[in-house]
Chain A
Amino acid sequence: MQKIVVKFPEARTVYSSLIPVGSTNADLIVEDGTHVFTLSEPQDYDPPEQKVIVAGTSAFRPMIITFTRISAVVARWFPAPLADFTTIAPRVDAMIAHLSPLALNWQIERETPEKIRAVAVLESEATSGDTWSLVILEKAGLGLHRHNAGGDYGEMVVSLAGELKDISALGHPLKLGASTVAFHGASTRHAPSADVFWLGLFHQPRGITLL
C-alpha cells in the first residue's frame, strides 16, 4: 500500500479509475500500481485526469498529485479586471479593445464582413507543440483540425463568453456556454463554431494539425 495526497483548492471526492477513494487534501492510502485520478464534479479542474503509477511512498513522504482549478488557468492569462467579459459587447472588435492592455498579436480573418475569426497565440513551445491561444468567433468557425497525439489530452477548451457549438468526446453535439470546460482526447478531430459569438481559451499540449 502507498500514501498519496491529491491537492485541489477545495474538498472534492477523489476517484481512482472512477472508484471513490477519499477526499482531496487528505492523506489517502491506496494500493500500489496504476491509478487514473479524477475529481468529483464540477469538471473545473486541470488536467481532466492524471494517470499515475503509485509506488515508493512512506508515511512522511506521500506522493503529491495536484489538480489546478480552471479559474486559476484563466487567471494565468487574464488579470482579474480583464477576466470579466459580461459587460463587453459580443463583437470581435469590442473584445479586442477590452483586451488591448494585454498587447496581444491578433490574427483577424474575415470570411465576410459579418463572419469574423480572431486568434491570438498566448504561448507556444516549438519542440512539443504545446500551445495556448485565445480565440474570438463572430458568426464563424474554426477549420477542421486534429489534436496531435501525446499529452494528458488533445485539447482543453475553456469557454469564457458566448456559446460554442462543438462535439463531445463520444461524437455527440455539444454547446459550451460561458464558464464551461471541455476536453478532447488526443488524435480526435473537430471543427467548432459560433452561431453568434464566442470567446475562449484553447490549450493543445501537442499542437494541432489542420485538415
Chain B
Amino acid sequence: MTLAFSPVCSFWRTSFLGRNRASAAVLGALLFGVGCAHAPINQPLAQREPESGYRISTTLPKDGNTDDVFVILAFSGGGTRASAFSYGAMEKLAATKFRRGGQQQSLLNEVDIISSVSGGSFTAAYYGLHRGEKEFAEFPDHFLYRQVRTALALSLLNPINWWRLASPYYSRIDMAADYYDRHVFDRKTFGDLNQVGQRPFIVLNATDMSSVSRFEFTQDQFDFISSDLSSYPVARGVAASSAFPILLTPLTLKNYPGYSEQKWMQAALEDRDRNPRDYAYAQVMQSYLATEKRPYIHLLDGGLSDNVGLRGPAYALFSSKNAWSREAVRPSVGWSLKQLLNTPGKIKHLVIITVNAKTVGEQSWNLEAKPPGVLAVLSTVANGPMGNYSDETVQYVRDQLETMRQLADGPNAGEPMKFYPIELTFQSIASPTERSYLNQISTDFQIPREAVDRLRAAAAQLLDDSPVFRQLLENINGSN
C-alpha cells in the first residue's frame, strides 16, 4: 500500500520533529497512523498529449480485430453475480469462431469496447490486463470464486487498518482498493493497460457524486481534471466503479487546473432546448474545469449513473460531443466514433451486447398487510431508480439505432450497416427453475461456487438462444 502525507503532516514533520525528538517519536508514530495515512493520489498531467495515454483513439484494432465487425460489450453492476455473468458471455464469445480470409477468428477478438460498472468492472479490467486465453481462464480462481466479502471483513480486524481508517484520507474504499490491487490486479496501473495498445478499449465507469453523472477511468476523461491516468492503479478504478453507497465510502480524486473548454462544449452549451442530453453532458464536463470550485472529485458506484454501462458508448455513437471525440488541431487529424460510423463501408456490423445481471424477484412484503421495513424501503430507493434507468438506457440505444437505420436510407444509400442490439438478462432464460435460481443470487462479492458456474453457463446459453446473435453469426460467416 502506498502511503502519502497530507500537507498538515508535512508541516508537522518539518516544524515539530526537529525541536523535540523524543516526544515527537511517540506522537509521530500516532500521527503517522491516525492522521497521515493517505490513499494514493492521482498525479497531475505534465503535458496533454492527444496521441498518448489510455484513450479510445490510441487503442488500435490489431491482431485480427477489424472495424468491419465492431463489437461493444456493456457490463452491468450486481456484485460477483454481474462479474460471473459477464465472464460467461466473454467465454462464449471466445468459443464462437467465424472465418475471415480463410482463417478462424474468435468473436471475442473482435470486441472493440467494453464499458462496465460495478461488478462488471472486475471482469472488464481483468480481461484488459490478461487477454491471453490461459490467463483470462484464471479469472474465476482469481476473483469469482474468491471470498472477497469475508476477506474485506477480516481486513477490518487488522489493527494496521484501524490506524489507517482513523485517518480522514484513508477510508473503507481505499482498503477495498488495496485488497483488489494486491489480490486481483497484481498492482497493475492504467499505464500497464495502455501498454497493451490494442482493442478492446476498457471503460470503467464510476459516478461523480456532485453531478450524479458518469465518470470514466480513461485519459479522455482525466484530461478534464488535468490528471495523468497512467500511474493510477487499475484496482482503484474498479473500486470506484463498485463503491456501493454507504457500504463503501466514495473514492476521491484531485482535480488539477490546466484544461480548457473544448469547441464542442461551446456548441453543446447553446443547445439546452435543442439537445438537452448533450447540453447536460457539456455542463458536467465544464464543471471539472472550475478547479477552484471543485478541487476534489468524489466518486461512487458507477451503477448510480448508469447501471448497465451503456451510456459512454451510446454518447460516442450517437453524438460527436463527448470526451472520446478528439479535436483536430490543424494539421493533425482528430478522431471520433461518429467519423467511423459515417465512413461508408468502414463498419459493416455494429454489435452491442448488454450483459445485465439485474434480478427481478417476488417481494415478500406483497404478502403482508404491515408496511415494509426500513431495509426494504432503502433497497427499493437504492435499486428501483437504477433499474428503471437501465431499462430506459437499453431502449434509448435501440431507438437511436433504429433512427440511424432509417436515416441511412435515401438516394445515395449503399450497403447498409447492420445493427445487432442484444441484451442478456435473467428474464430471457427459458427455464423457470434456472431463472428463479439466478434471480435469487444476492448482490454480493461472495457468492457460492455453484452460482458462479450457473451464471457463466446462463450467459452462454442466452447468447446461443438469441436470434439476433444467430443472425450475426450467419451474416459474418456469409460475408467472409
Contacts and interface: CB of A to CB of B under 8 A. Distances in A.
Interface of A: 1-3, 5, 13, 15-23, 26-36, 40-41, 53, 55, 57-60, 62
17 contacts: A2-B407, A13-B328, A16-B267, A17-B321, A18-B263, A18-B334, A19-B263, A19-B321, A20-B336, A20-B338, A22-B342, A27-B410, A31-B321, A32-B271, A34-B270, A35-B267, A41-B330
Given A18-B327, A19-B326, 19 more contacts: A1-B400, A1-B403, A17-B266, A17-B321, A18-B262, A18-B263, A18-B264, A20-B339, A22-B339, A22-B342, A26-B412, A29-B404, A31-B319, A33-B270, A33-B271, A34-B271, A35-B267, A59-B409, A60-B409
B408 A29 contact: yes
Looking at chain B's contact residues, the main secondary structure is: loop
A42 B291 CA distance: 37
Nearest to A28: B342
A60 B407 CA distance: 8
- Count chain B CB atoms within 10 A of each CB in A27, A55, A58 and give the residue with the most: A27
Interface string B322-349: 0001111111011110110111100000
A118 B410 CA distance: 52
Contacts of A29: 338, 341-342, 404, 407-408
A27 B263 contact: no
Given A3-B407, A41-B330, A59-B408, A21 B338 contact: yes
A59 B342 contact: no
Contacts of B275: 31-34
B169 interface: no
A19 B412 contact: no
B408 A16 contact: no
B128 to A, nearest CB: 26
B338 A40 contact: no
Interface of B: 262-264, 266-268, 270-271, 274-275, 278, 318-321, 325-331, 333-336, 338-339, 341-344, 400, 403-404, 406-413
A41 B329 CA distance: 11
A18 B333 CA distance: 9
B268 A33 contact: yes
Contacts of B408: 27, 29, 59
Contacts of B413: 27
Nearest to B272: A33
A30 B271 CA distance: 14
A29 B321 CA distance: 13
B338 A22 contact: yes
Contacts of B341: 29
A74 B326 CA distance: 34
A30 to B, nearest CB: 6
Contacts of B320: 16-17, 19, 21, 30-31
Contacts of B325: 19
Nearest to A29: B407
A137 B412 CA distance: 48
A61 to B, nearest CB: 9
Nearest to B263: A17
Nearest to B412: A27
Contacts of B264: 16-19
A17 B319 CA distance: 12
Given A1-B407, A3-B407, A40 B333 contact: yes
B336 A19 contact: yes
B339 to A, nearest CB: 4
Contacts of B271: 32-34
A185 B413 CA distance: 38
B146 to A, nearest CB: 43
Contacts of A53: 274
- Nearest 6 CB-CB pairs, A to B? A22-B342, A33-B275, A33-B271, A17-B263, A18-B327, A31-B319
A33 B278 contact: yes
A60 B410 CA distance: 5
Contacts of A20: 328, 333-336, 338-339
Given A21-B338, A29-B341, A40-B333, A60 B263 contact: no
Nearest to A15: B328
A28 B340 CA distance: 11
Contacts of A60: 409-411
A37 B321 CA distance: 13
A16 B327 CA distance: 9
A31 B412 contact: no
A102 B342 CA distance: 45
Nearest to B343: A22
A32 B274 CA distance: 7
Nearest to B275: A33
A55 B273 CA distance: 12
A58 B407 CA distance: 6
Contacts of A5: 412
A15 B327 CA distance: 9
Contacts of A2: 407
A19 B267 CA distance: 11
Nearest to A36: B267
A59 B416 CA distance: 13
Nearest to B264: A17
A25 to B, nearest CB: 9
Contact of B268 (A26, A34, A55, A59): A34
A40 B268 CA distance: 22
A34 B274 contact: yes
- Count chain B CB atoms within 10 A of each CB in A34, A40, A41 and give the residue with the most: A34
Given A27-B410, A31-B275, A62-B410, A41 B318 contact: no
Nearest to B342: A22
A33 B334 contact: no
A60 B403 CA distance: 13
A19 B220 CA distance: 14
Contacts of A3: 407, 410
Contacts of A33: 267-268, 270-271, 274-275, 278
A34 B319 CA distance: 12
Nearest to A54: B274
A3 B403 CA distance: 10
